Structure 1
């Protein structure tokens, strides 16, 4: 069998990529798969198999925001913490964050913290923060943050990925894909009991 000429192959790849992007941006998918550097397929992990104490790794982080100011996530201790792994170029992330903003506004005075760990350039995060009026810290994470996401129950390293920690830093909820405002509110309220 004869292989396709390279220009035709490039066109086919572009069409598939455009269709996938369109499908994702139209709500057809709640997960944006990150490109993998290895040859293994990105597998969905059993989030129930993650040890709750793995969440303590989040408290060990110290990351800058878009303005270069560093934030120690050990300040999350004692609070219910919603930790969202996201990027400005991720369509499901862009749909989810406005509801996170509303939810944080509702719970910010009730010992609840939100933090976004972005896989992006500071200027893009700053523009996004300003455009969407994000009212919680959006921190700039190095590419290695995906390894942490994998240890927290996201072996496929897809976005968005949200981890909800209790006041002790224990993982109480893991969500790969989008999390609606109603779901998020329910999960936070359950931890407040």
Structure 2
């Protein structure tokens, strides 16, 4: 009798372990929810991010550019700076790059700098950017870029993610999600 009780308990424990393992795997494999980060006014992601960083001094960073030269946020002090966090594998990031290039070409003589911080490895970024004809500075962020993006208010990990900084180094706007030329102009022109 004692032996059959031990076997029954062993079967019950094994069944519970199997059920728990299957439940954990099902929970782990469910698709992640992506926050609404379209950049539309009033979206939860936008409101959250804006409240975290707008009005605060921009954090410093130091990252290599495409040639391997170290660049810091302080190098752009006194200019209006648009920092754009992006990745080569992010379709909205790639779609907005021509608008950012046009904005840079139009306003750089008036003191605008667009800085792209790529969350990829250097070789992938160089191979990707070269044929695109992007003239604004591109920095290689890799894993450090993710931390810098968080420092700039991107707690949700949204890509693309853009921050506009005034000449005084204060963050004036944060834009989660794809940005178009008209939105970018609306953020930048009053600061020039």
Change in Cα spacing, 1:111 to 1:46, as seen in structure 2 (3 Å) is closer
2-side partners of 1:142 and 1:163: how far apart?
Answer: 18
Higher helix share: 2
- Residue 68 of structure 2 corresponds to residue 68 of structure 1: yes
- Matched residue of 1:143: which SS? helix
- After superposing on structure 2, the runs of 4+ consecutive aligned residues of structure 1 that deviate more than 4 Å are none
Q: With the length of structure 1 as denominator, give the TM-score of the two structures.
A: 0.73
Structure 2: segments with no counterpart, 5+ residues: 1-17
2:53 pairs with 50, 68, 75, which one?
A: 50
Task: Return 5+ residue gaps in structure 1 as ranges.
Answer: 21-28, 32-42
Q: Is the 8 A contact 1:62 1:73 kept in 2?
A: yes
Q: Which residue does the alignment assign to 1:100?
A: 100
Count of aligned residue pairs for this structure pair: 161
Cα distance, 1:149 vs. partner? Answer: 2.1
Aligned CA distance change for structure 1 residues 70 and 97 (closer, same or farther; 3 Å): same
Q: CA deviation at 1:49?
A: 3.7
Matched ranges for 1:23-172 at <5 A: 30=38, 44=45, 45-50=48-53, 52-55=55-58, 57=59, 60-172=60-172
Q: Mark the CA change 1:71 to 1:190 in structure 2 (over 3 Å): closer, same or farther.
A: same
CA RMSD of aligned residues (A): 2.8
C-alpha distance in 1 between matches for 2:121 and 2:138? 11
Distance 2:74 2:177 in 1: 25
The whole-number CA distance in structure 2 between the counterparts of 1:111 and 1:174 is: 19
Which digits, 9 at most, give the CA deviation of each residue in 1:22-65, with x for residues without a partner?
A: xxxxxxx859xxxxxxxxxxx8324124352241x1xx222111
Superimposed CA distance per residue, residues 53-108 of structure 1 (whole angstroms, 9 cap, x where no aligned partner): 241x1xx2221112212223212110000000111111110101111011100011
- Asked which structure has the greater CA Rg, the reply is 2
Distance 2:68 2:154 in 1: 27
